[in-house]
Amino acid sequence: MKLIIGLAFVVILGALASAGVFMLKRPREDAGQDERGRMARALTLRIAASVAVFLFVLLSWLMGWIHPTGVPLKPI
């Protein structure tokens, strides 16, 4: 479980880094739409991976694979 979530976070950070690189590199004047849309595709991948991680964690909780271990509340 930890491995899957860890790999997903690596994918998210990789997509964010590649979007940053594409943002800093200016496309040539004669560049096609494919070269101009790389940053948008990288950010779309990041959003899709983030949503997938959230849904996977929610499904894992519903199936009983993981359990919340929040901070215990102390009475005042």
- The 10s digit of each residue's pLDDT in 33-59 is 666 688 888 888 889 989 999 999 899
State yes or no: pLDDT of 29 exceeds 90.
no
Give residue 30's pLDDT. Answer: 59
Residue 27's pLDDT is what? 64
Contact call for residues 63 and 55 (beta carbons, < 8 A):
no
pLDDT surpasses 90 at 10: yes
Task: Give the global pTM.
Answer: 0.70
42: number of Cβ within 10 Å = 19
- The amino acid present at 14, given as its one-letter code, is G
